[in-house]
Structure 1
Amino acid sequence: MKKDEAFWPPVDPVRAGLAGRCPRCGEGKLFSGFLTVGRRCASCDLDYGFADAGDGPAVFVILIIGFVVVGLALWMEVNTNAPLWLHFLLWVPLTLVLSLGALRLIKGLLIALQYRNKAAEGRLDRSR
Structure 2
Amino acid sequence: MTDTTALPPRDGWLAIRRGLSNRCPSCGRGRMFRALLKVNDHCPACNEALHHHRADDFPAYLNIVLVGHIVVPLVLAVEMAFAPPYWMHAAIWLPLTLSLAFALMHPIKGAVVAWQWAMRMHGFDPEGDKSDPLPAATTPRCAN
Pairwise TM-score range, normalised by the shorter structure: 0.7 to 0.9
CA contact (8 A) 1:18 1:109 kept: yes
Q: Structure 1 residue 67: deviation in Å?
A: 1.6
Structure 2 counterpart of 1:34: 36
Residue segments in structure 1 that go unaligned for 5+ positions in a row:
none
Task: Determine if the alignment matches structure 1 residue 57 to structure 2 residue 69.
Answer: no
Q: Distance in 2 between matches of 1:45 and 1:13?
A: 16
Q: Distance in 2 between matches of 1:113 and 1:106?
A: 10
Map Cα deviations across residues 78-107 of structure 1 (whole Å, 9 max, x no partner): 111100000000000000010111111110
Q: Structure 1 residue 34: deviation in Å?
A: 2.5
Q: Structure 1 residue 16: deviation in Å?
A: 0.8
CA contact (8 A) 1:28 1:42 kept: yes
Q: What secondary structure is seen at the aligned counterpart in 1 of 2:51?
A: helix
Residue segments in structure 2 that go unaligned for 5+ positions in a row:
124-128, 133-144
> How does 1:1-128 map onto structure 2 within 5 Å?
12-120=14-122
CA contact (8 A) 1:10 1:24 kept: no
Q: Distance in 1 between matches of 2:38 and 2:83?
A: 42
Q: Specify the code of the residue in structure 2 equivalent to 1:66.
A: G
Q: After the TM superposition, which segments of 4 or more aligned residues of structure 1 sit over 4 Å from their partners?
A: none
Query: Once the two structures are aligned, what percentage of the paired residues are identical?
Result: 33
Map Cα deviations across residues 9-34 of structure 1 (whole Å, 9 max, x no partner): 96811221111111111111100122
Map Cα deviations across residues 42-101 of structure 1 (whole Å, 9 max, x no partner): 111122211121111111111111121111111111111100000000000000010111
Q: Distance in 1 between matches of 2:81 and 2:49?
A: 52
The alignment covers a number of residue pairs equal to 118
Q: TM-score, normalised by structure 1?
A: 0.82
Cα root mean square deviation, aligned: 2.4
> Which of the pair is proportionally richer in helix?
1
